[in-house]
Amino acid sequence: MLGFSRLEDRQLPRHFAISVSQLELWRCAYLPCLFDLWSLASVKSLSVDRFARQSQSIALVGLPVLWLIMSLLHFHSLEDLLIVRLRYVPHPAADTVNRLIAAHNRWPMIHDPHWIGYLSLPLLVLGAFGLYALGRRARPAIAALGVSLTVTGCLYIGGVFGLFTSLMRGLGDVDPHFTEGAIATYAAATADHGAYGLTRTLAQLALLGLAVQAMALWRAAHIPRWAAATVILGCALFLAFWDIDNLMIVGEICLIAGLLPISRELRRDYRATWV
């Protein structure tokens, strides 16, 4: 036992030297590596946040611009555009179906205006979270309610656009011998009292949510009140004159005018946060 104790005593300085060497290696090698990894993570998070804010600011303006193009493509002439009706009058199902069957899908799918609205829906979600990023500082509860309504309504807007994109493309492949059945199917699928009417009503939650988010920005810093008021007006025109493309165009122009300064503030707010 005595010899074993002396052996341990002789090995103690060696263990101490090894421990000191490990600490020195940790300080000289591992700590710089960890600092580099932390710096890299910060740069990555900075890049991701910058990309997210830039995407949100572009989506805020890109969405109403694409919807404006979609609405304009519904009109075949300037005279049709200037005919304003305060109440929606649907086109006769027979005229629509006969025209689609006669065309027989001789044009690309993207020529259908509903495809533009359908493919633009991710911009609605991006823009909603961009508005929430600004509104939560002024009125967090209202901003949270608004983004929830907008995202929920976006799901049902997808159902509305999806129905029409499927019908417009599908009817082009119908044999002319089955025209009467296609007309009956189209009329039933787009009836207000059916599932489409319910989906269209729920889709209006998206515009209601955008209006609520604009209310959250009413007292937000660096955002003019006229911009929030213009967004609310545009959403109100959408909700009051749903499917009346002439007046929806006016609402889309209001959205573009109101969301432009909000989009600039979203980019400016990002730069101020990281400077």
SS3 7: helix
Mean pLDDT for the chain?
80
Cα→Cα distances 252→65, 122, 136, 218, 236, Å: 7, 17, 25, 20, 11
Summarised one tens digit per residue, pLDDT across range 156-187 is 999 999 888 888 888 888 888 888 988 898 88
Summarised one tens digit per residue, pLDDT across range 186-196 is 888 888 887 88
SS3 155: helix
Task: Find out whether 206 and 160 touch, Cβ atoms under 8 Å.
Answer: no
Helical H segments across 172-244, by residue range: 179-189, 195-216, 225-240
Show the tokens assigned to 130. 């961009």
Show the tokens assigned to 11. 């090995």
Report the half-sphere exposure of 212 (CA within 13 A, side-chain side): 23
pLDDT at 4: 41
Closest CA to 156 of 202, 121, 194, 210: 202
